[in-house]
Amino acid sequence: MSTITEPVFQMEAGSGPSEFLFGSTPVMLDLKKKIALVSNTDVPVLITGESGTGKESLAIEIHRSSRRGPNPFVKVNCAAIPGALMESELFGFERGAFTGAVQRRIGKFEQATTGTIFLDEIADLDLALQAKLLHVLQDGNLSMIGASEEVMLDTRVICATNRDIPSAVQGGQFRQDLFYRINVIHVNLPALRQRRADLPELVDHFLAHYTKLFGRPVAKPSAALVELFGSYHWPGNIRELENTLKQLVILQNEGELIRTLEARLKEEMARIVDPDGTVPLKKYVKLAVLKVEKELILKVLRHNRWNRKKSARMLRISYRALLYKLKECGLDQRETAVLSERAE
Ligand SMILES: Nc1ncnc2c1ncn2[C@@H]1O[C@H](COP(=O)(O)OP(=O)(O)OP(=O)(O)O)[C@@H](O)[C@H]1O
Ligand SMILES: [Mg+2]
């Protein structure tokens, strides 16, 4: 039977030293230990973290350092492909399964047999497909669209997302049972600003890498630039740092880079400085407390199906205090009142 398969990113057997830098901050050293323990098992891993923190790089590292390392590593971006197409993408189809299925085609799961499938942006997977994926993970076998037989699954599953799946579960956009299936081991990658002590190692690594790649030696970063690197908040995390250093090697423009980073730092300050030039700590603490209160109250209200009396008891505050807080948090009084009446 003829099959069409797309080229699969295949890791080299026993590929050389790892490109994934763990650094030496306590949080990353703990993560390194955890990865060493889970790599050689087949349990699903869920990697979370802000954009650019290295979720995909870590998935490759887990695969590379496992016994599956020499076998295929297949990536699927769950956000990029619309629901209907995604099913055939993941599970494949038999010839004649639907109009246009002129040839049998195996899916990404089968392409990753003996290796690892990396389901990126898993929180964006269509709800109908979440049900199908759950069955596949539960039963350990899958069938192509239009096929009568099932195939045994021998694929390790690693998922990643930068979204908060528990909130998506609460909001009904993600199946709780699937969340439990994929979240056997959870790894959260910290933002770069939470592990600034790793900056020198990362900077040296990327400078050496791009100097070699572009054949352009670059002067050691000045003390002023190193200091700026340390105080900048790196919203784009390691990807932003890597791109910054790549640019530095290509353009050799340290002066310009210093000016850009200084401008970004000023912008960041401009957002928090009051017109009188102060940063009132009390005001920001109050805003932070309000945010936490709002989240907790919403969670409890949802849990109690918007019953405000029951929620007040659970929050250990008076009913009047809850009404006051709802107003203070800017929660729509009328909406919660209507829902509450229905619930009471
Ligand atoms: N620990 C690391 N060691 C070395 N390079 C890293 C590390 N983490 C990330 N990188 C580099 O940063 C870039 C971004 O990493 P990656 O694509 O894995 O992030 P991501 O979390 O998947 O981002 P996104 O959420 O935007 O998809 C990669 O090009 C990689 O080279
Ligand atoms: Mg990614």
Residues 6 or more apart whose Cβ sits within 8 Å of residue 88: 105, 107, 145
21 lines ligand 1 (CB under 6 A): yes
Mean pLDDT over each residue of the chain, to the nearest integer: 87
Which of 99 and 25 is assigned the larger pLDDT?
Answer: 25
- pLDDT score of 181: 95
- pLDDT score of 269: 84
- pLDDT score of 12: 40
Q: What pTM, to 2 d.p., does this model score? A: 0.80
Q: How confident is the model at residue 1 (pLDDT cuts 50, 70, 90)?
A: very low
Cα of 255 to ligand 1 centre, how many Å? 26
Q: Please list the residues that pair with 48 across neighbouring strands.
A: 161, 188
Residues 6 or more apart whose Cβ sits within 8 Å of residue 204: none
242 lines ligand 1 (CB under 6 A): yes
pLDDT(54) > 90: yes
Report the range out of 47-51, 98-102, 249-253 with the highest average pLDDT. Answer: 47-51
Ligand nearest to the CA of 234: 1
Residue nearest to atom 5 of ligand 1 (CA): 20
Cα of 52 to ligand 2 centre, how many Å? 7
Q: By C-alpha distance, which of 164, 163, 159 is closest to 76? A: 159
48 lines ligand 1 (CB under 6 A): no
CA 110 to chain centre: 24
pLDDT(85) > 90: no
53 lines ligand 1 (CB under 6 A): yes
Rounded mean pLDDT, 236-254: 93
Rounded mean pLDDT, 225-251: 93
211 lines ligand 1 (CB under 6 A): no
Write down the H helix ranges in the chain. Answer: 26-39, 55-64, 83-91, 108-111, 127-139, 165-170, 176-182, 199-214, 223-231, 237-251, 254-270, 281-303, 308-315, 319-328, 333-343
Cα of 162 to ligand 1 centre, how many Å? 12
- pLDDT score of 64: 93
Cα of 86 to ligand 2 centre, how many Å? 18
Q: pLDDT exceeding 70 applies to what percent of the chain?
A: 91
Domains in the chain: ranges and CATH: 26-190 (3.40.50.300), 199-270 (1.10.8.60), 281-343 (1.10.10)
Q: How confident is the model at residue 62 (pLDDT cuts 50, 70, 90)?
A: very high
Ligand nearest to the CA of 191: 1
Report the range out of 11-15, 81-85, 124-128 with the highest average pLDDT. Answer: 124-128
83-97 exposure pattern, b = at least 16 Cβ within 10 A, e = fewer: eeebbbbbbbbbeeb
Ligand nearest to the CA of 57: 1
